[in-house]
């Protein structure tokens, strides 16, 4: 049994009690340890001078599993989150079912654009500096998670970037065959999430929609915003008999 600041009593500490199972994470892709809360939270100033945290939970940590890494994000952003029994068992015993909340599936208006733009996203990320001429950089959070398919509790942002000149966040969404109403609603939700959860010191949040063809509905929607832009891409593919 050991005392742990990982489950330390912050405003949420009273929600955790003896007998509760807890998972300590490192970043959002690694399960550090699993344990059982042995007693209610205690206040002990000076107990851990290295961190300065005065609030602790006594946790009996299991020998296994320890330091289990997953290939993708499985833990939500908040420090404390309640998991279902199925999520807990899959994290501890299985290959890992993400504990992040996924956005509901959205209707696709143009299946061809959807398929093409799934590949286009990887191309943009691989050639990011060239495409944006150094004005943007892909965001990386303090836990080392990069901005491609950046996980939030309302879904995954296609690409989250930072504008070098202004230090503003830029939420980039590919239209991927969705209706204009869907993509505008989604990018606004993501921008709101970034503003609430990531922005510091008055950072601004901008949006960028990338699509294949001009869409009057999209243009009308963007008339009512001053912080979302749109860019169009073109693809050229030719066959020839000889080099």
pLDDT digits (tens, 9 = 90+) for 195-224: 999 999 889 999 999 988 888 888 898 888
pLDDT at 113: 52
Q: What percent of the chain has pLDDT over 90?
A: 25
pLDDT at 96: 57
Is residue 42 within 8 Å of residue 56, measured between CB atoms?
yes
pLDDT digits (tens, 9 = 90+) for 126-178: 899 999 999 999 999 988 888 988 988 888 899 999 999 999 999 999 887 77
pLDDT at 10: 35
CATH 3.40.1350.10 maps onto the chain at: 111-232
Q: Which two tokens stand for residue 97?
A: 């079912």
111-232 has CATH 1.10.3720.10 classification: no
pLDDT at 169: 98
Tokens 């891409």 sit on residue:
233
Averaged pLDDT, 82-109: 62
State how far the Cα of 204 lies from the Cα of 194, in Å rounded to an integer: 9
Q: Classify 231 as helix, strand or coil.
A: strand
Averaged pLDDT, 2-15: 42
Which residues, 6 or more positions from 237, have their beta carbon under 8 angstroms from its beta carbon? none
Is residue 197 within 8 Å of residue 154, measured between CB atoms?
no
Tokens 């956005």 sit on residue:
103
């Amino acid at each position: 049994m050991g005392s742990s600041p990982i489950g330390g009593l912050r405003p949420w500490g009273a929600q955790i009690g003896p007998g509760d199972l807890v998972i300590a994470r490192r970043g959002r892709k690694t399960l550090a340890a699993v344990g059982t809360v042995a007693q209610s939270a205690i206040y002990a100033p000076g107990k851990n001078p290295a961190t300065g945290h005065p609030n602790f939970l006594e946790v009996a940590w299991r020998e296994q599993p320890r330091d289990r890494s997953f290939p993708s994000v499985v833990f939500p952003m908040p420090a404390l989150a309640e998991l279902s029994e199925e999520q807990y068992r899959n994290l501890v015993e299985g290959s890992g079912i993400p504990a992040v909340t996924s956005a509901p599936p959205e209707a696709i208006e143009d299946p061809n654009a959807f398929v093409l733009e799934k590949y286009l996203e990887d191309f943009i990320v691989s050639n990011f500096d060239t495409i944006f001429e150094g004005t943007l950089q892909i965001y990386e959070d303090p836990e080392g998670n990069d901005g491609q398919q950046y996980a939030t509790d309302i879904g995954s942002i296609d690409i989250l970037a930072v504008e070098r000149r202004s230090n503003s966040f830029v939420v980039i969404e590919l239209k991927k065959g969705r209706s204009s109403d869907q993509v505008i609603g989604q990018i606004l939700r993501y921008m709101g999430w970034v503003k609430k959860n990531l922005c510091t010191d008055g950072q601004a949040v901008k949006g960028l929609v990338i699509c294949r063809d001009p869409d009057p509905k999209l243009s009308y929607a963007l008339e009512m915003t001053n912080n979302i832009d749109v860019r169009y891409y073109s693809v050229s593919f030719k066959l020839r008999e000889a080099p």
